[in-house]
Structures are given as C-alpha cells and as structure tokens.
Structure 1
Amino acid sequence: MITYYQNWATQLLKEYLFEYPWVPCTSVVCGIFACRLVYNLSQLINGICFKHYSTLPKMKKIEWDNRAISTVHAIFITALSIYLAFGSDLYSDDLQRGPILFRSSTLSTFILGVSVGYFLSDLAMIFWFRPSLGGMEYVLHHLLSMAALAYAMLTGSGQFYTYIVLLSEITTPGINLRWYLDAVGMKKSKAYVVNGVAIFLTWLVARVLLFMYVYFHIYVHYEQIKLLSHFGYFLILIAPVVLGGLNLMWFVKITKGMIKTLSAKKD
C-alpha cells in the first residue's frame, strides 16, 4: 500500500508539472506585482483621504503602506483558505479521491504562489528597511512560511495543512489597525480598546486553538505524512511547531498588552 501511494504521488507530480508548468512562476510574479500595486495605491489614497498620513515621518509612511499590503493579503488569503479548506470539496473526506495530503488543483496552487510573492516582497522590505519593519522573528516566520508554501505549491503535497495555517492571517488586519490607531494618536480611544480585545480573541482561535487542530490532524494522518519526501516530512512536522511557538510568544505579549490597556481604562 505504501509503495502504491508513493508511485501514485510521483506520477501525480509529473503530470502536474507537465500540464501546468506556468502556474508556480506566474502566480509568484502576480503576487509580487499585486504587492507593488497595493503599495502605490496606498500612497495615493492615504495621501488624499487621511490628513494624518502626510504629517508622518518618512519611515512611518513606509510602514503604513507596508501594512496596507499585509492587510490586503490577509483578507485575500483568509477568504480563499476558508473556501478551499472547508467550502470546496477539494479536501473532503471522500477516500476515493486519494489521500488528503496529496490533493491539489490549479486554483489552490496558484493561490499559494500569490502568497509566496507576498512573503518575498515583505521579506525584501524587511531587509531593505531593517530594523524598522521587524526583527529576526519576522524573518524566521517569513522564511518558514515561504518554505512551506513553496513546497506545497511545487509538489502539490500538504496543501491542506498549508491553507489551515494560512487561516491565521485573519489576525493581521486587527494588528495593523492597532498600529494605525496608535500612529494617528488614538491609543486612548474606545476603538483601540475594542480592537485589542478582538485581536486577543482572533489570535486565540486562529493562532493557538487552530494550530492544536493541525497537530491533531497530523497525528491522525501520520501514515500519509510518512509517504512524503524527507524534506516534506520534516517540513510538515517542524514548521507548524516553530510557527506555533512564535504565535504563543506573541500571544503572551498580546495578552499582557490587553490586560494593561484594560486596567488603565478601568482606572
């Protein structure tokens, strides 16, 4: 049975690369181009619509526009992750369609490529403007994310886990909104407090509890994971653990910040 699935996965990969060789490269380029487009539109729209934007220092403006890119990507990838992982039948429990770990489609592969393009663009900006846009924890997060995304995109394996983990991007708009409110001097507003509580709840669900579901799913489907290449095997076992550890580290900081804000508001 193991030999059969190994041969089946190899043949699937060969057919995929032969039939859709343009998908990975095209999707990554589209992702990079979309990031640049959002960055330019953010400069244009914010310069016209938000009076506070023009008063910000140059580095603050760059971070403002950078966060606009991450917000658009988060909304885009979260919506499509929900659809592909739960709304479509691509990863259903239909055993006749083969192991869930080896299922993919042109759409699912293209979307992963767009996300790779985003992480490449964001990582380039982090290095170019270092350390203003993030430290080494962000670099580690992006490198692991790109490795998992690229592997799932190029091989068609492990895409289900990739999309489940990408659901954690649902927390990004709230994080960015918190930064925006602080940048325009609304740190003591009610909106800032409400947003902080929302960040805590979404982070708990999407980056803590959801990762527990991923660990459980990996345990249940471990026999399929053993059919992967050595790189894919260790990637699926290591990446969620490292990313989950980073999420817990940030969750502790978010919890402390929320408690501090609520205590100050109560006083």
Structure 2
Amino acid sequence: MDPFSQLILAISVTSFITFQWLFHKVSPWISTCISPGFLCLSDKQKVEWNSRTVSTLHALLVGIFCLYIFFFDDAVNEDPVWGDPTLVKTNVAITTGYLISDLLLIFYYWKAIGDKFFVIHHLAALYAYYYVLGQGMLPYFANFRLLAEFSTPCVNQRWFFEVLGYPKSSRPNMANGVAMAVVFFMVRIAVMPIYYSRMYAVYGTKAFYLVPWGGRVAWICSSICLDIMNIMWMHKIARGCYKVLRLSHWRKACAPQENGKTD
C-alpha cells in the first residue's frame, strides 16, 4: 500500500471515530447547553437529534471543501475522469468514515432512526466511493455529488424547530421550510442537467473506456439510484410545504376581522 493510500485509510478511520465521538459525547453536551428543551425529549428523539447534529456538522465540513475543489481545483475540473484526485479523495475519505459511522448508528438504533432509504443511499454512495478512493477515478463526479450535502443543515433545522415545539405553521418554521425546499431543489434537483450533461460529454471518450466496468456501473447506477431518491424526497418536501402554506393561508383568512381588516 502506497503512503497516500495509507493516509486516506487513516483519514477514513479517524473520521469514523470522530463522528462516533460527536454523536455519543459532544452533541448531547452542546445540545444541553444551547437548548434546554433537549432534556425534555424522549430517548428516541434524543437519538435522532444527535444523529442530525452530527450530519449537519459533516455536511458543512465536506460542503465547504467541495466548493473549494469546484472553484479552485483545475486538474479535476479539466479532466473529470482522471484528474488529480488528491483533494477529492481526502474529502471522500471523510465522508466514507461518516457514512460507515451513520450506518452503524442506523442499525443499532433502528427503532429511532432506522430508514431503508437511508441504508440504500449510504450503500450506493459507499459503492461508488470505493472506486474513487481505490483507483482515483471520476473525482469531478464524486465531488459534484457531495455538493448535495448543503441541503442537510436546512432539513435538519426544520426538524429541530418541530421537535422543540414550533408548530409547522409558525413563521420561523414556515420560513425554514421554504428555505429548505429551495436549497434542496437547487443542490439536488436543479443541478441534475449539469451533472448528466457532463457525464454525457465524457461518455465514449478514451478516458471513459479506461474506467473498468465495475467503475462504470458504480458511477452510472449509483448516480441514478441516488437521484431517484432525491426526486422522491423533493416530492415529499414539496407536498409538506404546500400543506403548511395552505394551512397558514386558511388560518389567516379565518382570523377575526375588525373594521373590515384582518386582525
């Protein structure tokens, strides 16, 4: 094993240990200090709270790293299949450690946070990342997929509001819900044409045929699998936002009126 591969393995293991530590130790302590309502949650809610706190930290870390690569890593942007994967592999190693950690927590706390779609999502991502980390291929596309993590903090913030007692129709939760839907759409749905057009541009080139069959399957099938789930989640989010906005409009219309004006 070459020294860089050893470094990537070390980063993945360190990432796994760090996110386990954040879940079991740091999140409960910080959450208690910042939000007294955390102590009033049920055990299942505390598990999900800690899980979402950790996923938010992971999303912010790798998301910022992704943006840097996207704008400043010329080697990856010029050669999306075989460009220098050093920075991308580092970022993917961090995510790999997180995904394995999260899978372990999902299985262990299945009654609280178990979700078959998250399991499929994590396994599909890990399957693709195996080729990125092992052979350094497709760095541009691996980095592009990680940009989707920017939707995670908004999704989690909305859940935090709801579990702390904010009604869905309250202004803070409504504003966060709309922001969540917009961000989710922008980083997971609106970017699909860009992603697949770049994939189509690469298809059939010499660089493409240098990718082994397993790598092609991991790249194409994992991308389609992840985007099907993104569309399903977007549909669910859109329906939720529509219901909340309708409820808010109905309550406003039914509010007591005085002198012809809504109170």
Alignment of 1:178 with 2:162, yes or no, is no
Q: Distance in 2 between matches of 1:246 and 1:163?
A: 19
Q: Who is 1:61 aligned against?
A: 46
Alignment of 1:245 with 2:228, yes or no, is yes
Amino acid at match of 1:144: A
How many matched pairs?
A: 246
Q: Distance in 1 between matches of 2:233 and 2:210?
A: 33
Match of 1:214 among 173, 195, 216: 195
Q: Deviations over 1:122-159 (max 9, x none)?
A: 01111111142132111000100111122211111011
Q: Who is 2:35 aligned against?
A: 50
Q: Distance in 1 between matches of 2:84 and 2:110?
A: 36
Contact map agreement 2:76 2:85 (CA 8 A) in 1: no
Structure 1 or 2, whichever has the larger Rg, is 2
User: Structure 1 residue runs of 4+, over 3 Å off?
Assistant: none
The TM-score with structure 2 as length reference comes to 0.89
Q: Who is 1:36 aligned against?
A: 20
In the TM superposition, 1:244-263 aligns within 5 A as 244-263=227-246
Deviation of residue 19 (structure 1)?
Answer: 4.4
Name the SS for the 2:190 alignment partner: helix
Contact map agreement 1:78 1:169 (CA 8 A) in 2: yes
Name the SS for the 1:100 alignment partner: coil
Name the SS for the 1:72 alignment partner: helix
Alignment of 1:24 with 2:8, yes or no, is yes
Contact map agreement 2:85 2:137 (CA 8 A) in 1: no
- Root mean square deviation of aligned Cα: 1.4
Alignment of 1:134 with 2:114, yes or no, is yes
Q: Who is 2:69 aligned against?
A: 84
Q: Who is 2:175 aligned against?
A: 194
Deviation of residue 49 (structure 1)?
Answer: 2.4
Contact map agreement 2:89 2:133 (CA 8 A) in 1: yes
Q: Who is 1:111 aligned against?
A: 91
Q: Who is 2:258 aligned against?
A: none
Q: Who is 2:139 aligned against?
A: 159
Q: Deviations over 1:178-209 (max 9, x none)?
A: 11001100123211101111111111111112
Contact map agreement 1:24 1:154 (CA 8 A) in 2: no
Structure 2: gaps of 5 or more residues: 251-263
- Identify the range of structure 1 (72-81 vs 187-196) with the bigger mean alpha-carbon deviation: 187-196
Name the SS for the 1:21 alignment partner: helix
Deviation of residue 36 (structure 1)?
Answer: 2.2
Q: Distance in 1 between matches of 2:96 and 2:107?
A: 17
Contact map agreement 2:37 2:164 (CA 8 A) in 1: yes
Q: Deviations over 1:216-239 (max 9, x none)?
A: 111001123232011101111111
Q: Deviations over 1:35-69 (max 9, x none)?
A: 02322111111122211100111111111111111
- Identify the range of structure 1 (104-113 vs 70-79) with the bigger mean alpha-carbon deviation: 104-113
Q: Distance in 2 between matches of 1:264 and 1:72?
A: 32
